Chain A
Amino acid sequence: MSGDDRIRNQPSGLAAARAARDTQAPVSGEMEILLRRVERERQARKQAEQLLERKSLELYESNQRLQAQAAKLEIAVQERTRALEDAAARMQEALRTKGEFLAVVSHEIRTPMNGVLGMAQLLQMTDLTEEQQRYVETIQTSGETLLTIINDILDVSKLDAGSVRLDSRPVELRAVVKEVVDLLSTQAQKKSLYLDMEIGADVPAWIRGDATRLKQILTNLVGNALKFTHAGGVRIGMSTLQQGQVLQCQVQDTGIGIPPDKVDRLFEKFSQIDSSITRRYGGTGLGLVICKRLVEGMGGQIRATSKQREGSTFTFVIPLVPADEPGKQAKAAQTALKATNLKILLVEDNAVNQMLALGMLQKLGLNADLATDGAEAAERVRDTSYDLILMDMQMPRMDGLTATRAIRSMPDIRQPRIVALTANAMESDRDACLAAGMDDFLSKPFKAAELQDKLVAPTVAGKRDRAA
């Protein structure tokens, strides 16, 4: 029988062994060994328990530290987020202020320009000597140049503010290009340059788009090309790409070209390639910035390639959506209406502007009654049935918007067509005009032809196009 067996065979094992030792009874060697072993195991267990407790405490403490760290990080992130939001808000506010400032400045400049250009136009219609005629022409071209610069600055600020909405109406592409060519052909002829257009047979006659903005892009590119070309000429090309889904327009010149390292900077703000260019050729350098933003707004891209002393090519591509030709009767109807004798009320407080508008109407063979503020206009509308009201915006006593709302709320009168005469070209103001119940708006300074266009409402066909 082994020692182990003997231990197991005793009545209650360990307890009996202890009892035997405590009573000083003789204990076998195996028993002593067992007792020492048990004691060692007990000690080892205590050590292990202490170690476990210490490790648990360490674990708990490091967990606490981690939680504190996480909380601190969370706070730091929140603070940083708040700081960034504040900065963004301040930036937005600064941008808004800048936009408002530009709107105000443009308003302030456009109003007197309206007077200058309008008077020059009226003056031109009088009997003038050749010398006087030249002076008046200079006044007009200088004024128009100034107006172009103001419009460029306004355009850029509007594009920056994202407040430009592009039309999607039927556009007769060839007519747009032809208008650009007509507009700039004099300039080309003066420099003995050719100005050609070449429109591929695959380009549809009508596309959906914004005719005004397309014309603006092309005028800019062609005007630039003519400016920097002294021999040869400029060619406008149009074709389609990707099975007719993309319209590609190219303006190619044989001009002085652009240094390769400057090509990429062309479309950045105020980046005329050097100041000597500005001195020699004039301009704000904003034209190409506007072109780029407009093309991008149309979902397209613009780029330039150039070889110095050989010429430059500006190419832009935009998505092409063909459109049906709008109702053909529109123009005929408009012409017919024009002939009728319209009963017109001009509402305008500024004496120069009164003279100007009345003068232009006269040239168109029309007369108008005059009201000097909104309240007087509302009075007159009660007594007289007008076809058309030309309404200034800012007037003493009652402004144009209030007067329009007052007139629109009169139940018993035949409602006239109301066209705003606004010196403010910002789109938000135009929206306010329409919201008040006006039918259309005319930006000052306007030309006789523009006034003539606004005299009658667009035909039903035209309206349907706009709604589409």
Chain B
Amino acid sequence: MKGIVFTEFLEMVETRFDPGMVDRIIMSAQVPSGGAYTAVGSYDHGEMWSLAAALSKATETPVPDLMRAFGQHLFGRFVTGFPRFFAGVGCAFDFLENLNSVIHVEVRKLYPDAELPHFEVLERTAGRMVLLYQSARHFADLAEGLIQGCAEHFREPLAIGRESVSAESGSRVRFTLERA
């Protein structure tokens, strides 16, 4: 998993709570990297689970809620950090549809080893979009948070429905997005 996900996660914890919380969860998660993350590095995705579990314990909040909140935060950070991916994109559905073909292509140019989730548009009408999320990791909650962040960015209230699809390995989740 790319380092930027970890640095942004810790930033969020520091902003929403305090630097002490960051230190606490790192100490309790006992992650192999020691919590020293750089945005351009790559780290075992298991460390993210350990950190999330530690935060969940410390804040008594379920992990899925934390991951969704982090997804929303992360999307906002992407908007600030990579404005060129948003230039000329008119709506949330357009952005989501371009994810694989435009943005992930660019990411792979810089990080050939990046493990990126795959978003497949199964259905799209003016008011509805069905997306199939496929990933070797189980970050469907994070993905849902990102979709929420996307909807907020484009100021398009979306009702997000979610259902698991059986997968041999990793996870497959079908998101149904409906414009309010």
Residues of A whose CB lies within 8 Å of any CB of B are 3, 29-30, 33-34, 36-37, 39-45, 47-48, 51-52
Beyond the given A33-B19, A42-B36, A47-B41, could you list 7 further A-B residue pairs with CB under 8 A, ordered by the A residue number? Answer: A33-B23, A37-B19, A40-B36, A44-B36, A44-B37, A47-B36, A51-B38
Name the B residues within 8 Å of A36 (CB-CB).
Answer: 23, 26-27
Q: Do A40 and B41 form a contact, CB below 8 Å, given A33-B20, A33-B23?
A: no
> In the bound complex, how far is the Cα of B41 from the Cα of A45, in angstroms?
10
Which residues of B are interface residues toward A (Cβ below 8 A)? 19-20, 22-23, 26-27, 34-41
Inside 8 A of A30's CB, which chain B residues have their CB? 20
Known A-B contacts A30-B20, A37-B19; the reply to A48 vs B41 at CB < 8 A is: yes
Which residues on the B side are within 8 Å of A41 (C-beta)? 36
Shortest beta-carbon distance from A449 to chain B in Å: 86
Closest 8 CB pairs of A and B: A43-B36, A48-B38, A40-B36, A44-B38, A33-B23, A44-B36, A47-B38, A47-B41
Contact B41 A43 (CB under 8 A): no
Whole-angstrom distance between the alpha carbons of A47 and B20 in the complex?
Answer: 24
Q: Once the chains bind, are B34 and A43 in contact (CB under 8 Å)? A: yes
- Docked pose: A232 CA to B27 CA in angstroms: 114
Give Cα A45–Cα B39 distance, bound, in whole angstroms: 10
Residues of A within 8 A of B34 (CB): 40, 43
Q: Return chain B residues, CB-CB under 8 Å to A40.
A: 26, 34-37
Closest to A55 in B: B40
Q: Can you give 28 A-B contacts (C-beta < 8 A)?
A: A3-B20, A33-B19, A33-B20, A34-B19, A36-B23, A36-B27, A37-B19, A37-B22, A39-B36, A40-B26, A40-B35, A40-B36, A40-B37, A41-B36, A42-B36, A43-B34, A43-B36, A44-B38, A44-B41, A45-B38, A47-B36, A47-B38, A47-B41, A48-B38, A48-B39, A48-B41, A51-B40, A52-B40
A279 to chain B, nearest CB (A): 70
In angstroms, how far is the closest chain B Cβ from the Cβ of A43? 3
Bound: A52/B36 CA distance, A: 16
A36 to B34, CA, bound (A): 10
Residues of B within 8 A of A37 (CB): 19, 22-23
A255 to B82, CA, bound (A): 81
Name the CB-closest residue of B to A52.
Answer: B40
Instruction: Write the chain B residue with the least CB distance to A29.
Output: B20
Q: How far is the CA of A43 from the CA of B40 in the complex (A)?
A: 13
Q: Name the CB-closest residue of A to B14.
A: A37
Question: Which B residues are CB-close (under 8 A) to A43?
Answer: 34, 36
What's the least CB distance linking B17 to chain A, in Å? 12
Return chain B residues, CB-CB under 8 Å to A45. Answer: 38
Are A48 and B20 in touch, CB under 8 angstroms? no
Complex Cα spacing A51 to B43, Å = 13
- The residue of chain B having its C-beta at the shortest distance from the C-beta of A33 within the complex is B23
Whose C-beta in chain B lies nearest to the C-beta of A41? B36
Per the bound structure, the CA–CA distance linking A30 and B23 in Å amounts to 10
Nearest to B42 among chain A residues (CB) is A51
Complex CA distance for A48 and B37, rounded to whole angstroms = 9
Nearest CB of A to B51, in Å: 13
Assuming the contacts A40-B35, A44-B36, asked whether A51 and B41 have C-beta atoms less than 8 A apart, the reply is yes
Chain B, Cβ-Cβ closest to A40? B36
CB proximity of A423 to chain B, nearest CB, Å: 76
Residues of the B chain whose Cβ atoms lie less than 8 Å from the Cβ of A33: 19-20, 23
Q: Which residue of A lies closest to B21 (CB)?
A: A33
Complex: chain B residue closest to A34, CB-CB: B19
Residues of chain A with a CB closer than 8 A to B20's CB: 3, 29-30, 33
**A residues less than 8 Å from B37 (CB atoms):** 40, 44
- Which residues does chain A contribute within 8 Å of B26, judged by CB atoms? 36, 40
Cβ of B40 and Cβ of A48 under 8 Å apart? Answer: yes
- Closest-by-CB residue of B relative to A2 is B18
A13 → B minimal CB distance (Å): 15
Compute how far the CA of A51 lies from the CA of B111 in the bound complex, rounded to whole angstroms. 12
